[in-house]
Amino acid sequence: LIHFYKRLCRMVAVCGMEDIKERCGRLEQTELELQLTQGRAGGELYSELLAGYIALGRLAEAKFLWKRIPNPTKEETPEIGKIWEVGKSLWNRDNPQVFLNLKGDWSANVKPIMELITDNYRDQEFQLVGTAYSTIKLTDLSQYTGLTDQEAAHRAQQAGWTVDSQSGIVSPANTSSSSNQKEASSAQLQRVTEFISYLEN
């Protein structure tokens, strides 16, 4: 089983969510087998599984996993705690803290997953800003997308948004038609409302 897990660890090229979903299933099975044969699984397995749950948006499962990981394993593998800090900040919808926690050095097994979380979460926040705001300060946009002002401005321009360098105001391009907006789900509208409230409080 140890050799099997090491082979999994060498498969570090994570292509997308389906790959992570598949991988989490394998890690769950390996965890059970290691618990039965050796008493507990190793820290590397838990690091990768916890990161996978977070990447898939399965925060409740990530929370339960964090709680049941043995304390000695957490102490032996401090990276597990760092990964959970990302999960906690996502749970609390603390955007600046999410990106702050995502920074840093990650092990080879976890790094591709954390990079995917970063990219996907940033894309999501840009979409929410584009939906929620007709104008936004560049400093706010950079803060809530985890980028420098220059990087945020460049990303906004790539998306077709208007960036006024003198006033520091960004005007997102509204690419949704009125009919599409009317068809937005109540869940999406609620998420936008919560995002606006977060930015303004």
pLDDT one-digit tens code per residue, 69-108? 999 999 999 999 999 999 999 999 888 899 999 998 999 9
Strand partners, 137: 169
Report pLDDT digits (tens) over 126-167.
999 999 999 999 999 998 899 999 999 999 999 999 999 999
**Joined tokens for residue 95:** 């955007």
Give the model's pLDDT for residue 17. Answer: 85
Whether the pLDDT of residue 195 is over 70: the answer is no
Model confidence at 8: pLDDT above 50: no
**Which distant-in-sequence residues (6+ apart) come within 8 Å of 132 by Cβ?**
192, 195, 196, 199
